[in-house]
Amino acid sequence: ASPVEQRRWTLNDFDIGSSLGRGKFGHVYLAREKTSNHLVALKVLFKSQLQQSQVVHQLRREVEIQSHLRHPHILRLYGYFYDQFRVYLILEYAPKGELYKQLQKCKYFSERRAATYVASLARALIYCHGKHVIHRDIKPENLLIGAQGELKIADFGWSVHTFNRRRTMCGTLDYLPPEMVESVEHDASVDIWSLGVLCYEFLYGVPPFEAKEHVDTYRRIVKVDLKFPPKPIVSSAAKDLISQMLVKDSSKRLPLHKLLEHPWIVQNAEPSG
């Protein structure tokens, strides 16, 4: 077990550093575990807010699910501890921070960079689905960048084990596939849809069904109103892959192992992925 995985932790075991960012439920701090000098990210959540939002079961599920996941493209959740008012998640530290900030900075990615990210996300999702875990919240805000520039899926706060398929609404609207927006039964293929949305946003800088009002985004998703703008120039191979993932009938979406054999991925993704 890695140094930060064992025993009952308390705040005294860590030197707290700068704030790495803030999410809806609280801050994330860089921290160093004192005995091992191991750098971690410490997410601080207020119990009151978790109880108020009735998400305590979701947090338990995240910790449970994450404790069984070990993959180079999945951010580790080493463990948690709590005090009177707060819950602390002990997370793997991603030194290059949040992907969405890079996407904002350079507007959109090159086809090689986009394909490399999509391939590594596909491998991470194949691993999750193999363990009957669906993430359900794949979006730029939940992607972090490791020391070698590799992608890490984070925040399994919305993930579930597929045997108890959920009907709950979750995540932002942009990434939800039709079956979730229409809140019918859904399965692992929801992550294929979201990966298709992500691939589009990597290449164009905006998600495919974006609209001013939520109701218009909803309409564009259920209609699969997929349009490719003339700018930036994107290869037809990339458009072909996206068109095979953003399919209304979830059983007809390109399976993830087939995605890894798609010409656009084979020709553009870095082998290490």
Ligand X SMILES: Nc1ncnc(NCCc2cnc(NC(=O)Nc3cccc(C(F)(F)F)c3)s2)c1Br
Establish if 218 lies at the interface with ligand X (CB under 6 A): no
From CA 149, how far away is CA 159, in angstroms rounded?
25
Establish if 4 lies at the interface with ligand X (CB under 6 A): no
- Per DSSP, what are the bridge partners of residue 240? none
Catalytic annotation, pick one of 137, 155, 174, 191: 137
In angstroms and rounded to an integer, the radius of gyration of the C-alpha atoms of the chain is: 19
Judged by CB under 6 A, the stretch of 55-63, 111-119, 125-133, 229-237 that binds ligand X is 55-63
Establish if 149 lies at the interface with ligand X (CB under 6 A): no
Establish if 25 lies at the interface with ligand X (CB under 6 A): yes
Establish if 159 lies at the interface with ligand X (CB under 6 A): no
Establish if 59 lies at the interface with ligand X (CB under 6 A): yes
Establish if 137 lies at the interface with ligand X (CB under 6 A): no
Picking from 143, 209, 133, 214, the residue whose alpha carbon sits closest to that of residue 166 is 133
Among 4, 31, 55, 99, contact with ligand X (rule: CB under 6 A): 55
Least separation in angstroms between CB 115 and ligand X: 24
ω before 178 within 30° of 0 (cis)? no
Active site residue 13: no
On the 0-12 / 13-18 / 19+ scale of CB atoms within 10 A, 105 is exposed
Among 50, 125, 195, 234, contact with ligand X (rule: CB under 6 A): 50
Give the residue at shortest CB distance from ligand X.
Answer: 157
On the 0-12 / 13-18 / 19+ scale of CB atoms within 10 A, 10 is exposed
Least separation in angstroms between CB 142 and ligand X: 8
| Residue with Cβ nearer ligand X (87 or 199) | 87
CB 178 within 8 A of CB 248: yes
CB 76 within 8 A of CB 42: no
Among 4, 31, 41, 122, contact with ligand X (rule: CB under 6 A): 41
Establish if 171 lies at the interface with ligand X (CB under 6 A): no
Per-position b or e across 55-69, b if 16+ CB within 10 A of its CB = beebbebbeebbeeb
Residue 206 CB coordination number (10 Å): 13
Residues of the shown chain interacting with ligand X in the complex, contacts defined by CB under 6 A = 20-21, 23, 25, 28, 41, 43, 45, 50, 55, 58-59, 62, 75, 89, 91, 93-94, 97-98, 144, 154-155, 157
Catalytic residues: 137
